[in-house]
A and B are shown apart, each in its own frame.
Chain A
């Protein structure tokens, strides 16, 4: 199975900050990398698919980049509603696997 490693596991940031989260795959996955947002008690929400494509309805402050094994999710100006856990997922090969998550907390 392909292992997905996110860093950091958590971070503290303030409203307006630029936040960068990294996801590394244990082997190349081309651009088959997707990002989700999770809030307690709510269904996960797709933010970015295919490494850099913004899901419809997702604010443009979210962006993704990378290919191969290294990927980044960037929030350009953190908003109060963005405090959540962010997960990456590879859809290159079965079984699809997820990163362990990065919790973004209020500083």
Chain B
């Protein structure tokens, strides 16, 4: 059974940093691209970032480019999102999602981690 479990969410002040983790199990982690998708309060889902199976290629939404870094440790079956220079508008539930093989859809999602940016 595929499982994705996010951790690392919490309250952080504007300008601060936070690192989210997503522990994956139930599939060959290194074979699949992984993504982060977020949902701000009262808003729709927004794709944030993606990384290839090897970790060699990364993609970012314009809204987070230069501030967020996606990475993965295939030896630990874990996906990360390092978030720096956080802003109030980054407040959201962040979902870890597994991409279908060589596809742009997400066949499994985690339950989400809440990140609140507030002073």
Residues of A within 8 A of B (CB): 32, 34, 36, 41-46, 49-50, 55, 87, 89, 91-92, 94-101
Which B residues are CB-close (under 8 A) to A99? 44
Can you give 14 A-B contacts (C-beta < 8 A)? A32-B104, A34-B104, A41-B111, A44-B95, A44-B109, A46-B105, A55-B107, A91-B104, A91-B105, A95-B47, A95-B61, A98-B44, A98-B46, A98-B47
CB atoms of B104 and A96 under 8 A apart: yes
A49-B100, A49-B103, A96-B104 are known contacts. Are A43 and B45 too (CB-CB below 8 A)?
Answer: no
Partner of B111, one of A42, A91, A98: A42
CA distance A27 to B64 in the complex (A): 25
For chain B, the bracket of interface size reads 20 to 34
CB atoms of B107 and A43 under 8 A apart: no
A87-B45, A95-B61, A101-B44 are known contacts. Are A43 and B109 too (CB-CB below 8 A)?
Answer: yes
Partner of B110, one of A43, A49, A89: A43
Which B residues are CB-close (under 8 A) to A42? 111
Partner of A46, one of B44, B47, B107: B107
Q: State how many angstroms separate the Cβ of A42 from the closest Cβ of chain B.
A: 7
CA distance A41 to B59 in the complex (A): 28
CA distance A41 to B44 in the complex (A): 15
Q: Which of A32, A34, A44 counts the most chain B CB atoms within 10 A?
A: A44
Residues of B within 8 A of A (CB): 4, 44-47, 59, 61-62, 95, 97, 100, 103-112
Binding site secondary structure of chain A:
loop
Q: Which of B4, B61, B106, B107 counts the most chain A CB atoms within 10 A?
A: B106
Partner of A94, one of B59, B105, B109, B110: B59
| Additional 4 contacts, C-beta under 8 A, given A32-B104, A46-B108, A97-B47 | A34-B105, A44-B109, A55-B107, A96-B47
Partner of B105, one of A41, A49, A97, A101: A49
CB atoms of A43 and B59 under 8 A apart: no
Q: State how many angstroms separate the Cβ of A97 from the closest Cβ of chain B.
A: 7
